[in-house]
Amino acid sequence: MRSSLVFIVAAQVVLLLAVACGGPDGSAESDGREGGGVSQEREMFETDMVNDLPEPARRFLLRAIAPGTPLARFAELTMHGELRLGPDRDPLPFVAEQTLAPPESFVWRARTTGGLMRIRGFDRYEEGEGEMRWRLWGIIPVVRARGSDVTRSAAGRLAMEAVLVPSTLLPGKGATWEPVDGDRARFRMTVGDEVVETTLELDSDGRPVRVEAMRWSERAGPGYEPFVVEMAGELRADGYTIPSRVSAGWSLGSDEEFRFFEATLDRASFR
């Protein structure tokens, strides 16, 4: 069960997911990013900020951030979807909330909503450490994992999910870019001790369609394995445009493929 639930820390895209509305025990806690922790005077996005980036990166950021938008340090997301705990397992529906602040932290809090396998808990990366804590029916502990393997995988996830907080990929905000070809660019982001290189693929209008990186996995090793997030649709909020649908998994397109995460983003806010 532990190795299966390690995949949840991945999603994902995805993708990702949990909220900063509570600590590990579910109680409310502040992380200093709300209320008095946020300056009233924030830097605004100007199109010339991306002039020196590779063309695909410029295309992405110019579509993702409207001119004059305050530069966000983190996003709060809500989503629903399905996840699989194993390649031969039926998908489980879930709902989740996430606070995402690349390259510093994420918290993804979720619960499954169908069948007897009712699991709730969180994945997170904060203060340089990854952690998973999940309970069956909200009572029986099934996973409480920390350590270097969890931390390295969570760091890879956090870097890839920076695509969902486009302001964190601007020059001087923690990422560096290099060109790949006409529709792809690669950004490098350091999360704790992990340096993650993520390749972003776009359509002709600058919409993200795929991100891929080598991410730490316990599936066959442990070791690094290709992790892929496919993206579609658009969600607009607070001057930002991000993908609204994500599908994620290990080694997609190979004989070792395990696609385990599908989600639709329902709401986003940027602070």
Higher pLDDT, 32 or 177: 177
Range 183-188, long-range pairs (CB < 8 A, 24+ positions)? 183/56, 184/56, 185/53, 185/54, 185/55, 185/56, 185/57, 185/60, 187/57, 187/162
Residue pLDDT, tens place only, 61-85 = 999 999 999 999 999 999 999 999 8
pTM: 0.84
44, 69 contact by CB (below 8 A): yes
Q: What is the pLDDT of residue 40?
A: 58
In whole angstroms, give the CA distance from residue 155 to residue 170.
19
pLDDT band at 14 (very low <50, low <70, confident <90, very high): very low
40, 155 contact by CB (below 8 A): no
Residue pLDDT, tens place only, 193-220 = 999 999 999 999 999 999 999 999 988 7
Element spanning 149, H or E: helix 148-160
Residue 229, pLDDT > 50, answer: yes
DSSP state of 167: G
Share of the chain above pLDDT 70, in %: 85
Q: What is the pLDDT of residue 221?
A: 83
State the angle between helix axes of 148-160 and 2-10 in degrees (0 to 180), rounded to the nearest 10.
30
94, 101 contact by CB (below 8 A): no
Report, as an integer, the average pLDDT of 151-163: 98
Report, as an integer, the average pLDDT of 176-192: 98
Report, as an integer, the average pLDDT of 100-122: 92
Q: What is the pLDDT of residue 2?
A: 37
Report, as an integer, the average pLDDT of 45-59: 98
DSSP state of 68: T
- Ranking 7-16, 80-89, 91-100, 162-171 by mean pLDDT, the lowest is 7-16
Q: For the purposes of burial, counting CB atoms within 10 Å of the CB of 216, is it exposed (0-12), middle (13-18) or buried (19 or more)?
A: buried
Domains and CATH numbers, the chain: 2-270 (2.50.20.10)
